Amino acid sequence: DYNLRLQLSLLYAQNGDQLNALKQSDAAITIDPNRPEAHANSAPLLYLISGQLPAKAAQQQYVAQALAGFNKAIEVDPNYSDSYFFRAVLYYGALQDFARAQIDLQNYLVKAPDGTWAALARQLLAQVTKELESPSTTVPPTSTTRKK
């Protein structure tokens, strides 16, 4: 049963058991891949697990899988707002892609202005906007610094 697998996944996650939570989310996806909740649930689990892996390549692979999970959840149901919030967290934290994080946070707040994550989304949106508005620390090439 899709809903039972998803509930079991959430319970495992609440108890800090990300691996079993991920297995249950994956089982729910297998039962019904056309619903967004399990995709949106497995993606942050993959992101959390990525931070526990010692190898950088494995971390990057899990982050890529998490991003794919969020993208799939949004593809399946573009109105499932939580996907936008958590994908923004991934863009901000793991990928340092502030522009995409800003877009996703704005989408979340339009779709769920009083949603579960609205207060956090507003705080993160302020941080992301500040990052985008702050001057870059890299020096753009000039005629004196370009290779000839």
What are 74-124's pLDDT values in tens digits?
999 999 999 999 999 999 999 999 999 999 999 999 999 999 999 999 999
Q: Which residue has the tokens 């939580």?
A: 82
Confidence at residue 136, expressed as pLDDT on a 0 to 100 scale = 64
- The helix (H) or strand (E) run that includes residue 35 is none
With a cut of 80, say whether residue 139 has pLDDT above it: no
The pTM assigned to this predicted structure is 0.85
Q: What is the CA radius of gyration of the chain?
A: 18
